[in-house]
Amino acid sequence: MRSPSPGAARIAVIGAGPGGLTCARILQRHGLRVTVYDRDREAHARDQGGTLDLHADNGQIALRHAGLLAEFLAAARPEGQEMRLTDHTGAIRHHDVPAPGDTFKPEIDRGDLRDLLLNSLRPGTVQWGHDLRTVTAPVDGLRRLHFAGGATTDADLVIGADGAFSRVRTLVSDAVPAYTGVTFLEAWFDDVETRHPELGRLVGPGSAFAISGGRGLLAQRNSGEHIRVYIALRVPRDANTPAGIDLTDTEAARACLLDLFPGWDPLLLRMITDNDGPYVDRPLYALPISHTWTHNPTVTLLGDAAHLMPPLGVGVNLAMLDAAELALALRDSDSIADAIHAYENVMLPRSAGVARECAEGLDGLLAPTPDHAHHHLTADR
């Protein structure tokens, strides 16, 4: 069957994250039909995560094509580019401060970025409460999407923007994400200026990293007087828990974590002991560095679905750049198949190179000394 032209095609994006929404926005700007399907029951059904930096050479390029760059820069926090790196004693080893007017990689809360993208789409573009279960191929060449609850729809092109454990990926690849050996335990701090002022001063307006002996405390300033801390550990997974730590018992988990940070400065250890609420388990998974698949004229992938890698400041940026390039390839091609070829020929080799850098960067992040970590932090962010 001849591949349809993008202008006549029904395009389904699975996943309403930054990549999927960016793709939909750019497609709509160029008159192409698209529907986004997401399993969440509504836009704010769950926390969207912490802050992220969008780089001028990838994420901001995508926002420019989406016609949203000015709005992003108005909402972003350039001061969030400041980064402090200490050793386990709290002594500052590196302090990077952005120059006045520097907007190369300003920070924005993930929820704010998502709202910016959602509000730019036509009403009804995102279909909430659609949990994709399977995709089949009827005899006429269309893809039929089957959702939990029995709903179905047909599409000429299915774009998998559905993250690390993508269901769309299984249509073109047998690859499964593997545990990297590193786990982040996320801790939240609210009303920082009132309840945690010393931690607020330690972190400053951007990020603060304390790294020593293969352990790390990674703190990010969010908007609204919030800070998120990621306790970085190179540990095995035992019964789905890091090093056997029971995260359902917060006090017991704190005691176990303190044992893993002997001799650290008491103020730094407040990132472990003073959090508001339980820890959240964030094991880091990655796809094979050179993940690829055989071209399929009805399915493609972007973002983590295509190239899951350690979270070192590039994941969302790459997802949005993928989204922009795919949307523009669909705008410029005579057929869906041609567009997918053009897109994947650029995206796959680029993502392999970045995945290799991120794998090396994760090792460097948990290096024995802050100086080694600084090289990887500044290179990858």
**Tokens, residue 21:** 């929404």
Would you place residue 2 in the very low, low, confident or very high pLDDT band (cuts 50, 70, 90)? confident
Would you place residue 380 in the very low, low, confident or very high pLDDT band (cuts 50, 70, 90)? very low
Residue 46 counted as an annotated binding residue: yes
pLDDT at residue 140, as a whole number: 63
pLDDT tens figures, 138-149: 766 789 999 999
**Tokens, residue 312:** 């070192």
pLDDT at residue 137, as a whole number: 85
pLDDT: is 247 or 244 the higher one? 247
| Helix/strand/coil percent split, the chain, to 5 | 35, 25, 40
pLDDT tens figures, 258-304: 999 999 999 999 999 999 999 999 999 999 999 999 999 999 999 99
How far is residue 340's CA from residue 352's CA, in Å, rounded to a whole number?
A: 18
How far is residue 116's CA from residue 95's CA, in Å, rounded to a whole number?
A: 31
Q: H helices of the chain, where?
A: 18-29, 59-65, 69-75, 110-119, 192-195, 197-203, 250-259, 266-273, 304-307, 315-332, 336-365, 370-380
pLDDT at residue 244, as a whole number: 80
Q: What is the pTM of this model?
A: 0.94
pLDDT tens figures, 77-132: 999 999 999 999 999 999 999 999 999 999 999 999 999 999 999 999 999 999 99
HSE value, Cβ hemisphere, 13 Å, CA-based, for 350: 17
Residue 53 counted as an annotated binding residue: yes
pLDDT at residue 381, as a whole number: 42
pLDDT tens figures, 320-362: 999 999 999 999 999 999 999 999 999 999 999 999 999 988 8
SS3 259: helix
Return mean pLDDT, the chain: 93
Q: Going from the N-terminus, what domains does the chain have, and what CATH number goes with each? A: 6-77+105-176+287-365 (3.50.50.60), 178-285 (3.30.9.30)
Minimal CA–CA distance to 213: which of 104, 89, 307?
Answer: 89
Residue 259 counted as an annotated binding residue: no
pLDDT: is 364 or 235 the higher one? 235
> Taking residues 197-209, what's their average pLDDT?
96
